[in-house]
Amino acid sequence: MAVPFTPAGTIPAAILPFHDDFAIDEASLRAHLADLAGTAGVTAITVNGHASEVASCTADEQARVLDIAAAAVGDRVPLVSGVYTESSLEGARLARMAEAHGAAALLVFPPALFALGQRDEMVLTHFRHIASASSLPLVVFQYPLGPGQGYRLDLLHRLCDEFPSIVAIKDWCADPQLHERHVRTLQSRARPVAVLSTHSAWLFASLVLGCRGLLSGAGSVIAGLQAELLAACGDDDLARARAVNARIQPLAEVFYSAPWVDMHNRMKEALVMLGKLPRNVVRPPLMPLAAEEKQRIRRALVAAGLLADSAPRLAA
């Protein structure tokens, strides 16, 4: 029986370790999930998302990841599983699969084809297929509006009106003014819909607006610091929040630098440096990081107080 999901708190998006032959490293995944679940302030864990390179995973692999997560930590924290697909019909199948394999909630990604132009009825139809296939609570992944995959605020409200299973949005609108509108209007609805920030590059500024929590790939590395920052903001203790943010910021600047496609590659490398992963392997077309990039990550870990400055430097 899945632990019920509450859309609040610190929700790291787990990375997915691989062997050198690109097969899933199940032992390292179990250890990673146990580490996250044992972190104070972590309220749920997300799998089958961007951080776990879901675009390169088959449906069977996604089911296997959920099975591993459910067995490893499913009795301790709720599991949020991504629904990442171009097809509404496949979205319904993934939703049924996730519920059957122990998920407590679903994170619904916008189809990439929406970037070519979306109509409101397309969005509603996509969610209708998914919501009708599963009784699980839904988290809407809100993308930036500019590229076309984000949803206008009035459409978000329409989604929340039509689908009571929507309990939160993962907000990546990348617009501080719109982000504040989301926080103010969605969380004050008669049936409140939580805003979970994924603005990890400017998390402090985001959380002080009153987000209920955060859902972030960077949590695979710094869930503890993120939880401290959320707690400080919730207590209106800005001095403490600034101090925590000063530790987070060096890593945020490295993780979320251009090209963004390498953000989770960098997080994996950080976990290797921290001794929490045996290797950093990403599936093609992602590529290994250059030595200079690894040195940047190492310096950021030192600045964040997570790695001793006396640690041996990497060979160029």
pLDDT at 309: 83
pLDDT at 315: 45
The secondary structure of 60-110 as a DSSP string is HHHHHHHHHHHHHHTTTS-EEEEE--S-HHHHHHHHHHHHHTT-SEEEEPP
pLDDT at 312: 52
Give 236: exposed, middle or buried? Use CB within 10 Å, 0-12, 13-18, 19+: exposed
Tallying the residues shown for the chain, one arrives at 316
Name residues of the chain where pLDDT drops below 50: 314-316
pLDDT at 2: 80
Coil, helix or strand at residue 165: coil
Alpha helix segments (H runs only) across 74-116:
88-100
Backbone angles phi, psi at 137, to 5 degrees: -60, 150
Domains located in the chain, CATH noted: 9-237 (3.20.20.70)
Return the bridge partners of 232, or none.
none
On whether the pTM is more than 0.85, the answer is yes
Over the stretch 97-119, which tens digit does the pLDDT of each residue have?
999 999 999 999 999 999 999 99
Distances (CA, A) of 60 to 57, 64, 67, 98: 8, 6, 11, 11
CA pair distance 147, 143, nearest whole angstrom: 8
Coil, helix or strand at residue 208: coil
Over the stretch 186-215, which tens digit does the pLDDT of each residue have?
999 999 999 999 999 999 999 999 999 999
